Amino acid sequence: MSPDIPRVRAGECHVWFADAVHVPPLLELLDDRERARHDAFVRASDRALYLTAHALARQLVAAQLGVRPTEVRYVQECRHCDRPEPHGKPRVAGADLELSWSHSGGRVAVALSLAGPVGVDIEEVAGEGKVADLSAAVLSAVERTELERLPAAERARGFIRYWARKEAVLKATGDGLMVEPSLLTVSAPDAPAALLEWRERAEPHLPVRLHDLDAGDGYRAAVAVLGTRCPVARHEAGYGGDGTLRHPRRGVTTSARC
Ligand SMILES: CC(C)(COP(=O)(O)OP(=O)(O)OC[C@H]1O[C@@H](n2cnc3c(N)ncnc32)[C@H](O)[C@@H]1OP(=O)(O)O)[C@@H](O)C(=O)NCCC(=O)NCCS
C-alpha cells in the first residue's frame, strides 16, 4: 500500500475530500465505460468532477487491495429494477470493502468502509430559490417546521444539511432517489446527525449511523454507515499537475465517531 494512504481497518470508515481537477493522466486510471461517461459531459466542470471522483476512488481502493487502480473492478446493483446496463450502488468486486462517492460544485468525496454499507453525499450550499423549490419534495413535515424555525439567513445552509444527510442514508441503503427523501426524517440541522424516522422503509432494517462531515467552505457533507457504531476518519486529498495524489494534506485529518 502507498505509505501516504491510510489503511481502512476492520470496523472503520474513512472519507476523503478533494477539489475537482482535470488532469489528463488521471483518465488512464478509468475503464472504458468510465471514460465514455466522462467524455459525454458537455461542461468541463462536470468532466472534472467525474474524473476526480472516479480516479480518487480507484486509487484509494487499489491502495487498500494492493492492486493497480486499473485492476479495480466494480459491480453495481439496483434495488429497484433489472435494467441490464450497470447502475445503482457501486460495490468493489471480490472484496468486503464498501464504497460510495459523491460530487457537487467543485468538490468530491469518496468513502470507504469496512464497517458496513456506506453512503456519502456532498452538496454545495445553494441559494434560497433552491430551498423554496425543493423543500416540499425533499423534507418531511417535521423537517419543514424545523427549517422554518431557523433565521432566514440560515435556511439555505440548513436545507443543504438535511439534503446531504438524507442522500447519504439513501446511498448507503442503495435506494437512491427511487425512495422519496420526504419519507425520512433526520435531526434538525443544528443538532447532531441522526435518522429519526423512515416511513414505509423496506426490510432489512440495519441501524443507520449518520455523521456530518466538514466538507469545506460553502459545502455540506454527511456519511451514513449501516450496522454497528464505527469511527469515521476524514482526510483531505489533492492532485499535483502531473496527476500525483497528494495525501493527506497535513493538519486536516480528523476523527469522529458515528
Ligand atoms: C444516487 C443518487 C441519489 C445520486 O445523486 P447525486 O446527488 O446526483 O449524485 P452524487 O454525486 O451524490 O452521487 C453519484 C454517485 O452515486 C452512486 N450511485 C448511483 N446510484 C446509486 C444508488 N442507487 N445507491 C447508492 N449510490 C448510487 C454512483 O456511484 C454515482 O456516481 P457516478 O454518477 O459518478 O457514477 C441519484 O443519482 C439516484 O437516485 N439515482 C438513481 C435513480 C435511477 O437511476 N433510477 C432509475 C433506475 S432504477
Tell me if the bond preceding 204 is cis, omega within 30° of 0: yes
Residue 253's pLDDT is 43
- Ligand 1 centre distance from Cα of residue 223 (Å): 15
Residue 80's pLDDT is 85
Contacts of 203 (CB under 8 A, 6+ apart): none
Residue 90 CA, closest ligand 1 atom number? 29
Tell me if the bond preceding 248 is cis, omega within 30° of 0: yes
- In 3D space, the residue among 223, 222, 233 whose CA is nearest the CA of residue 255 turns out to be 233
Q: What is the DSSP string of 43-108?
A: SHHHHHHHHHHHHHHHHHHHHHHTS-GGG--EEEE-SS---SS--SEEEETTSS-EEEEEEETTEE
In eight-state DSSP terms, residue 247 is -
Series of mean pLDDT values for 10-residue runs along the chain (258 residues): 80 96 96 97 97 97 97 91 86 96 97 97 83 87 95 92 97 95 97 96 89 95 94 93 75 46
> Of the residues 102, 107, 112, 179, which should be mutated to test ligand 1's pocket, given the most ligand atoms within 8 Å of the CB?
102
- Ligand 1 centre distance from Cα of residue 174 (Å): 9
Place of cell 475503464: 31
For residue 180, the SS3 value is: coil
Residue 102 CA, closest ligand 1 atom number? 11
Q: Whose CA is nearest to atom 27 of ligand 1?
A: 89
Q: Could you tell me which CATH number the domain at 13-257 has?
A: 3.90.470.20
Residue 27's pLDDT is 97
